[in-house]
Amino acid sequence: MAARLPKRRAAKAVAAPAAESGGNAARLRRLGLTRDIDLVLHLPLRYEDETRIVPISQARDGLTVQIEALVQECKVIYRPRRQLLVSLADDSGELNLRFLNFYGSQTKHFVQGARIRARGELRGGLLGPEMIHPRYRVVQEDTPLPVALTPVYPAGEGLSQSYLRAGITRALRDADLSDTLPTALIDKLALDSFASAVATLHAPPVGVAQTALSERTHPAWRRIKFDELLAQQLSLRRARRARLDKNAPILSARGELVARMIGSLPFALTQAQERVWREIDSDLRQSHPMQRLLQGDVGSGKTVVAALAALRALDNGYQAALMAPTEILAEQHFRKLSHWVEALGVKVAWLTGSLRKKDKLAAQESIESGSAQLTIGTHALIQDGVAFARLGLAIVDEQHRFGVGQRLALRAKVGSGQPHQLMMSATPIPRTLAMTYYADLEVSTIDELPPGRKPVVTRVFAENRREEVLARIDEAVRSGSQAYWVCPLIDESEALDLEAAVATYATLRAALPETRIGLIHGRLPPAEKAAVMQQFVEGSIQLLVATTVIEVGVDVANASLMVIEHAERFGLAQLHQLRGRIGRGSAESVCILLYQGPLAALARERLGIMRATSDGFEIARRDLELRGPGEFLGARQSGEALLRFADLVADQDLVAAASKAAELLLRDYPQCAERHLERWLSGREEFLKT
Ligand code: ADP
Ligand code: MG
């Protein structure tokens, strides 16, 4: 089947050459290939060896080989379906070529006695060995063989290899391939020159070490990886310098809000909270904007720390803003923070998209006049019409859920200078990985949970143990505690999720008539959502049926049981987030993962991991293994990963060398640094600024 596709496209290209060329330019742009140098840096995925001819008798079944032979016969047959059959022979044996899709003019290639060079996978057929849809060309007896391996490039939909090859060959000729590195450095590190590295990679000479090429350990690959890492290091340093040059308000230890808040908390900060607060506090005293990620497991107490930072801004006469990805999470913050800070006389504003026009205008006015000291909300905060009078600190919760653009927009919400920026995430990412996505970001980690938390016991139940689950809910509720029932994630569609939640709600009400059950989902009007949450907080709702709107941030300490239905459909990070809603009080908490079998291998593994550990860092690590970094970080949102060739773990020696080289270039060869960045990062820098 697969072998048929390329031919079809080739046929189309012949039919409509004019339309094709405009289309190709757009396809190249989609791959980010706009400049000649971009084409030069579009490196092969692998190679095909067309430098050798294999005698037919020596060709092995199932292997891709190139043969050269003379046409004996060419015929179109009609059974079992229309096809073109060409028989060939060389000195050693005979072979058939079979084309299921072909165009009439093709038969002209196969006149008797013509010499055909064909490359494809050899298969034993009814009539002897054959190739289906081989790549072929008509040659003369003295047509030379290529002297280089044939590159196979990453290609988007509809982009042919021959088109890419031609474009890249031209670009290699036209582009400036002179070195961006000073000769002294090239010599010292014994690197290939850039020109020879790309020449080798696009057209490896016969006899090249093919394993080193495919494993990307060949010196040519090392040079490219070094260059890529150097570009990353340079841009990281440049972004940091640029940030240090910008002005942000100095938020020093004055006023009394911070101290009063610490004094009024019903608990003492953990050591980890103290430490990250010191780190943040010291950033805020600088005259350049802070850019710090505060990461910590679900329930580790990030919000308190963020509140302290906000109060520090207020103590200095500035405003602070907190933006959360969902309305329900924003509401949680609003309730919690208002409770803490309004007692200190702080004026808090609330701004989300669903506010009535009048209330929205009032909120915007108080933000603009500066009378709102702390503003909490959703991305409504970054919409037009919102202008802060004196924003000193922007806090973004669950930052990975926002797109790059949205994060940049909040920071841009002040006229001159920049606010300090604090991002929070419950999905801890390894520092090295963070570096590939965020050029310039300090990281603080809360690695300790508040005392007295009992680990959540996680059970994995098959769907047919529902009765048992209902009994447990009944028991929990009777003993005075509360429970969540999380409904399946059907797909991206909220409507379907909702349907499932409503059905479950009805079933549970019938099954547990004495239990006070509530339902919450994303489609409820905000006021109703808030009312349901309030009832659950107060305990008048005992069992809360919910879609994943409760995924982040909801905080009810008396809830000690959670059932997650169709747990096999959830990702690890999400299961962990959900489970983090319980185990916040002093009671022993249980999370039941209810699944519908049969389980796919990956789902089984995920549930196993959930049962085995409740450590968010460990779970993040396993998630990374299972899914790869892209999805884990929400790469679709945060832009492409910056590293295409190098691997921060496998190429650690190069990372270290590139880091040193970056220092050297910026100090002694600033023009080289400039040219290098231009070559590697042009057009991608915006993503680096987050
Ligand atoms: P996160 O946002 O990191 O998931 P929160 O800031 O919502 O966590 O805190 C989770 C819960 O723990 C909240 O109820 C909070 O009041 C409480 N908490 C925070 N810090 C402490 C502490 N040092 N000791 C006891 N409880 C704490
Ligand atoms: Mg939180």
SS (H, E, C) 375-407: EEECHHHHCCCCCCCCEEEEEECCHHHCCHHHH
Q: What is the pLDDT of residue 635?
A: 35
Q: Is 585's C-beta closer than 6 angstroms to any atom of ligand 1? A: no
Question: Which residue's CA is the closest to the ligand 1 atom numbered 10?
Answer: 299
CATH fold match for the domains 52-145 and 457-613: no
Q: Which CATH class is domain 226-452+643-690?
A: alpha beta
Q: Whose CA is nearest to atom 16 of ligand 1?
A: 301
For the Cβ of 426 lying below 6 angstroms from any atom of ligand 1, the answer is: yes
Q: Does residue 165 register a pLDDT over 70? A: yes
- Cβ atoms of residues 323 and 352 within 8 Å: no
- Lowest average pLDDT, out of 137-141, 521-525, 591-595, goes to 521-525
Of all atoms in ligand 1, which is nearest to the CA of residue 268? 23
> Rounded to whole angstroms, how far apart are CA atoms 483 and 587?
12
Is ligand 1 within 6 A of the CB of residue 581?
A: no
Cα 73 to the center of its chain, rounded Å: 54
> Is ligand 1 within 6 A of the CB of residue 427?
no
User: Model's pTM, two decimal places?
Assistant: 0.68
Nearest CA to ligand 1 atom 4: 299
262 lines ligand 1 (CB under 6 A): no
Q: How confident is the model at residue 525 (pLDDT cuts 50, 70, 90)?
A: confident
Atom number of ligand 1 nearest to Cα 296:
3
* 417 Cβ neighbours under 8 A, 6+ residues apart: 246, 247, 248, 249, 289
φ and ψ at residue 129, rounded to 5 degrees: -65, 145
Nearest-ligand number for the alpha carbon of 396: 2
**How many residues make up the chain in this entry?**
690
Ligand 1 neighbourhood includes 428 CB (under 6 angstroms): no
User: In whole angstroms, what is the distance from residue 647 CA to residue 242 CA?
Assistant: 27
Q: Where are the domains of the chain?
A: 22-45+157-215, 52-145, 226-452+643-690, 457-613
Q: Is the pLDDT of residue 239 over 90?
A: no
Closest residue by Cα to residue 475 from 518, 509, 515: 515
pLDDT confidence of 19, banded at 50, 70, 90?
Answer: very low
Find out whether the beta carbon of 103 lies less than 6 Å from any atom of ligand 1. Answer: no
169-180 pLDDT tens trace? 999 999 999 999
Residue 664's CB: how many other CB atoms inside 10 A? 16
Are the beta carbons of 607 and 599 closer than 8 angstroms? Answer: yes
As a whole number of angstroms, the distance between CA 399 and CA 14 comes to: 49
Could you report the per-residue pLDDT of 481-495, keeping only the tens digit for each?
A: 999 999 886 655 666
Task: Give counts: helices (H), strands (E), the chain.
Answer: 26, 21
CA angle 152, 153, 159 (to 5 degrees): 110
Identify the DSSP state of 148: B
Q: Ligand 1 centre and the CA of 555: distance in Å?
A: 9
pLDDT in tens, 110-156: 999 999 999 999 998 777 899 999 999 999 999 999 999 999 998 87
CA of 330 to the centre of ligand 2 (A): 10
Any ligand 1 atom below 6 A from CB of 303: yes
Averaged pLDDT, 614-640:
59
Q: What is the Cα–Cα distance from 153 to 161, expressed in whole angstroms?
A: 7
Domain 52-145 is classified in which CATH homologous superfamily?
Nucleic acid-binding proteins (2.40.50.140)
Highest mean pLDDT among 364-373, 415-424, 425-434: 364-373
Decide whether any atom of ligand 1 lies within 6 Å of the 298 Cβ.
Answer: yes
Distance from C-alpha of 33 to C-alpha of 368, rounded to nearest angstrom: 44
- Ligand 1 atom, smallest distance to 555 CA: 14
What would the mean pLDDT of 24-53 be, rounded to a whole number? 89
Domain 457-613 has CATH 3.40.50.920: no
